[in-house]
Amino acid sequence: MIPLAHLSDDVLVDYAAGTLPQATALLVATHLALCPDCREEVRLLEEVGGAMLAERVPEAPADHLLADCLALLDRPVTVQEQPARYCADGVYPRPLLDVLPADGLTWHKRAKGLAEIRLDTGPGPVAKLLKISAGQPMPRHTHSGREFTLVLDGSFSDDYGVYRRGDVAVATEGEIHQPIAGAERDCICLAVVEGSLSLTGPIGRVLNLFVRF
Amino acid sequence: MTAPVVRPDAALEPLVASIAAGDRDAFQQLFRALAPKVRGYLLRLGADAGAADEVTQETMLTIWRKAASYDPALASVSTWVFTIARNRRIDRLRRARRPEFDPNDPALQPDPVEGADVAHEAAETGQLLRAAIQELPKEQLRLLELAFFHDKSHRAIADETKLPLGTVKSRIRLALVRLRDRLKDETR
Ligand SMILES: [Zn+2]
């Protein structure tokens, strides 16, 4: 199944250029694993990067840099690549597995029908896995930056439509929304918020204590 | 140092193949052709001379180690080198690996099967793109360059150029549409 809700050009350009914060780059890489269309787009954008590199004004390094490199060519590589780890049931593509604990997932309950796992993506925007119980609405909320939600399993819907595996919902700054998990089974998604998130409404104010992005 | 020879990209491919076989002369040639470009890229992104040298060196060493994995059908040599330099730079800044998809991941949604006529040699795509980029309107080219060669997201570019974010986005999109159209025309 090919996703229907994609990432926009500007996000893919920033990914290809290498300027996205790590959490957002993780979400893009995960979408790319699930979306041949956006993979093709990034391949083209990287060709643009390559063409621009080829057009760069050369800044010749000092002569010794080549000699230094040549001296290092036969040095054995000290950093071994981690062996690839793949998900047995295929829910989590590789870019996610690389930041998930190897010894199983521990979901932290945040509210009724909502559990999360915070991912280690360094400083900057936060990436989380969310598990929303089947048929459960997410707390109504708004945010100061962009919010990306990528479906990994199950589905959810909001005012714009239904999102399934691989689809990305992007909520812009200040937009208030309330996605609802599909009734068929629990919905697992990857959520990234660039900026702070706040919950709205009376229930939201209480839930703010639990869902801290 | 003599001025580096600017080679058409396809001419770099045999060099990478020789490097994969352990040819040090080929490595020196590729170094002279591309290390100054990589260094220019890093300096433009705000690296100081020391950091630029270091990441240039790491990039060239990665090329030496990974030459065997270079696939000309997937990317031109400049593009392959661009992605290596970009990733080495991110590694250095964040001390974390850049998140990327893994083509061997069983969870990967496979590419739709392409007809043979769609398949297009990447080096050729690179050449066409380079020509098309030169023909872009100056303003579009400037924004595209800012996006690739400054450590700035679209939002930061909007702040710096004092253009509304929507304008930056739509101009960059226009530039990409133009490039895509050119590629389609040429390959048809
Ligand atoms: Zn997509």
| Domain boundary, last residue among B49, B73, B97 | B97
pTM: 0.88
**B68 and B18 within one domain:** yes
Domain harbouring B34, CATH code: 1.10.1740.10
Structural domain boundaries, residue B176: 132-187
CA distance B139 to chain A (A): 15
pLDDT digits (tens, 9 = 90+) for A70-123: 999 988 776 666 677 888 788 999 999 988 888 888 999 988 899 999 998 888
Count of domains for chain B: 2
pLDDT digits (tens, 9 = 90+) for B117-159: 445 567 777 778 888 888 889 888 888 888 888 777 787 888 8
- At B188, is the pLDDT very low, low, confident or very high (cuts 50, 70, 90)? low
Q: Which residues contact A8 (CB under 8 A, 6 or more apart)?
A: A170, B169
Domains of chain A, first to last: 9-96 (1.10.10), 99-207 (2.60.120.10)
- At A212, is the pLDDT very low, low, confident or very high (cuts 50, 70, 90)? very low
Is A122 close to B149, i.e. CB distance below 8 A? no
Percent of the residues in chain B that have a pLDDT greater than 70, as a whole number: 89
Q: Could you give the ipTM of this predicted complex?
A: 0.88
- Asked if residue B185 has pLDDT above 70, the reply is yes
pLDDT at A80: 63
Put simply, whether B106 touches A (Cβ < 8 Å) is yes
Q: Map chain B to HEC letters.
A: CCCCCCCCHHHHHHHHHHHHCCCHHHHHHHHHHHHHHHHHHHHHCCCCHHHHHHHHHHHHHHHHHHHHHCCCCCCCHHHHHHHHHHHHHHHHHHCCCCCCCCCCCCCCCCCCCCCCCCCCCHHHHHHHHHHHHHCCCHHHHHHHHHHHHCCCCHHHHHHHHCCCHHHHHHHHHHHHHHHHHHHHHHHC
CA distance B55 to chain A (A): 11
Query: Which of B38, B41, B105 has its CB closest to that of A93?
Result: B105
Integer Cα distance of A55 and A60 in angstroms:
14
Across A142-162, average pLDDT: 88
Residue A185 CA, ligand 1 centroid: distance in Å = 24
**Residue B34 falls within a domain, yes or no?**
yes
**Residue B104 falls within a domain, yes or no?**
no
pLDDT at A90: 85
pLDDT digits (tens, 9 = 90+) for A162-197: 999 999 998 877 777 788 999 999 999 999 988 766
Domain harbouring B157, CATH code: 1.10.10.10
Are A106 and A117 in contact, with CB atoms under 8 Å apart?
Answer: yes
